Amino acid sequence: MSDPKADNEALVRGLLRMVGEDPQREGLKDTPMRVVAAWKHWCQGYQIKDPGTLLKTFEDGADGTDEMVLVKNIEMYSHCEHHMAPFFGVAHVAYIPDKKIVGLSKLARVVDAFSQRLQVQERLTNQIADAIDNTLSPIGVGVVIEAKHFCMCSRGIGKQGSTTVTSALRGAMKRIGPARAEFLSLVQGSGKS
């Protein structure tokens, strides 16, 4: 029976040889172990089968609350599924409550649960919006992600200054012009803090 840990470390040693390194070199001896641990951390989102369950809701405090709640600049780190290269940036997540509110830190946890997987930014944005929409049944949901992709800036076309922006709107934030405009204005308004 094979040992998954040893198999994974052997894969990393093979990668080191592929790029022209000697896995037995002093500075690289523990690298396979560290790389395996790092990837387990970077991809821990796979351990959360339903990120919507992270959204703890409260009815207390929701009375009369029907205005937008926005958490801006949630740091986000992921890896693209095409090159396994990092992409990182911020997520702006908003919802309009309908009889229940959510713990604000839980919105960041949902961002982490989906971003800590091999991803494409377009899917990631929609997954976050759908989890909030399906769990909270709010009046509206808006998610904007701004990210830099290493596959764009460190290889290929090499455009270091490029940023990719994606959005996903649900409910009133998609259908009702003023709600959409308010969300986009708040996201763009004061810039990154």
Per DSSP, the three-state class of 159 is coil
Those residues of the chain that have pLDDT short of 70 are 158, 190-193
CATH 3.30.1130.10 in the chain, residues?
Answer: 52-189
Distance between CA atoms of 144 and 188, rounded to whole angstroms?
10
The sheet with strand 69-80 has its strands ordered as 118-119, 69-80, 86-96, 140-149, 164-171
Provide the pLDDT for residue 65.
78
Whole-angstrom distance, CA of residue 174 vs CA of residue 145: 16
| pLDDT value of position 190 | 53
pLDDT of residue 76: 97
Q: Can you give the pLDDT at residue 151?
A: 84
- Catalytic machinery residues: 80-83, 121, 149, 151
CB neighbours (10 Å) of residue 63?
9
Torsion sign, CA atoms 88, 120, 115, 176: positive
CATH number, domain 4-42: 1.10.286.10
* CATH class held by domain 52-189: alpha beta
Contact yes or no for 173/141 (Cβ under 8 A): yes
Q: CA 113, CA 80: separation in Å to the nearest integer?
A: 15
From residue 145, give the alpha-carbon distance in Å to each of 33, 108, 138. 32, 13, 20
Quote the pLDDT of residue 161.
80
Compute the distance between CA of residue 107 and CA of residue 94 in angstroms, rounded to an integer: 9
Residues of the chain with CATH 1.10.286.10: 4-42
Q: Identify the pLDDT of residue 193.
A: 43
Phi, psi at 149, each rounded to 5°: -110, 120
Q: What is the pLDDT of residue 60?
A: 75
Backbone Cα Rg of the chain: 20
Whole-number pLDDT of residue 84:
94
Determine how many CB atoms are found less than 10 A away from the CB of residue 18: 8
